[in-house]
Amino acid sequence: MTPHQRLNRWIEEITSLCEPDAVQLCDGSPEEYQQMMASLTATGVAKPLNPEKRPNSFLVRSDPADVARVESRTFICSDNEQDAGPTNHWADPNEMKAKLTGLFKGCMRGRTMYVIPFSMGPVGSPIAHIGVEISDSPYVVASMHIMTRVGRAVLEELGTDGDFVPCLHSVGQPLQSGDTGAAWPCNPDNLYIAHFPASREIWSFGSGYGGNALLGKKCFALRIASAMARDEGWLAEHMLILKLTNPDGEYRYIAGAFPSACGKTNLAMLVPTIPGWSVETVGDDICWMKFGDDGQLYAINPEAGFFGVAPGTGMDTNPNAMQTLDGNCIFTNVAETDDGDVWWEGMTDTAPAHLIDWRGNDWTPDSDTPAAHPNARFTVSAAQCPAIADEWEDLKGVPISAILFGGRRASVVPLVNEATSWEQGTFFGSIVASEKTAAAAGAIGELRRDPMAMLPFCGYNMADYWQHWINIGQTANAKLPKIYYVNWFRKDLEGQFVWPGFGENARVLEWIFERCAGRADAVETPIGHLPTLDALNFDGLDLTEDAIATLLRVDIQGWLAEIPLIESYYQQFGTNVPPALFDQLQRLSERLEAAAVNVA
Residue 545 is classified by DSSP as H
Query: What is the number of other CB atoms lying within 10 angstroms of the CB of residue 153?
Result: 15
Task: Give Cβ neighbours of residue 86 (< 8 Å, ≥ 6 apart).
Answer: 462, 572, 573
Burial of residue 176 (number of CB atoms within 10 Å: 0-12, 13-18, 19+):
exposed
Q: What totals of helices (H) and strands (E) does the chain contain, helices first?
A: 16, 31
Q: In what order do the strands lie in the sheet with 355-356?
A: 342-343, 335-337, 355-356, 362-363
Q: Are 147 and 120 in contact (CB under 8 A)?
A: no
Residue 527 is classified by DSSP as T
CA distances from 174 to 13, 136, 184, 323 (A): 18, 10, 12, 39
Closest alpha carbon to 406 in 438, 431, 440, 443: 431
Closest alpha carbon to 48 in 330, 458, 398: 330
Q: Are 193 and 207 in contact (CB under 8 A)?
A: yes
Bridging pattern class, strands 58-60 and 46-48: antiparallel
262 catalytically annotated: yes
- Tell me the sheet residues that pair with 205: 170, 192
Q: Are 26 and 115 in contact (CB under 8 A)?
A: yes
Q: Are 163 and 10 in contact (CB under 8 A)?
A: no
- CA–CA dist 420, 424 (Å, integer): 6
Concatenating the DSSP letter of every residue in 229-265 gives HHHHT-EEES-EEEEEE-TTS-EEEEEEE--TTS-HH
- CA–CA dist 489, 264 (Å, integer): 13
- CA–CA dist 225, 26 (Å, integer): 23
Select which of 262, 329, 458, 516 is catalytic: 262
Concatenating the DSSP letter of every residue in 6-69 gives HHHHHHHHHHHHH--SEEEE----HHHHHHHHHHHHHTTSEEEPPTTTSTT-EEE---TT--S-
Q: In what order do the strands lie in the sheet with 305-309?
A: 46-48, 58-60, 330-332, 377-381, 305-309
- CA–CA dist 239, 257 (Å, integer): 4
- Tell me the sheet residues that pair with 192: 205
Positions annotated as catalytic residues are 262
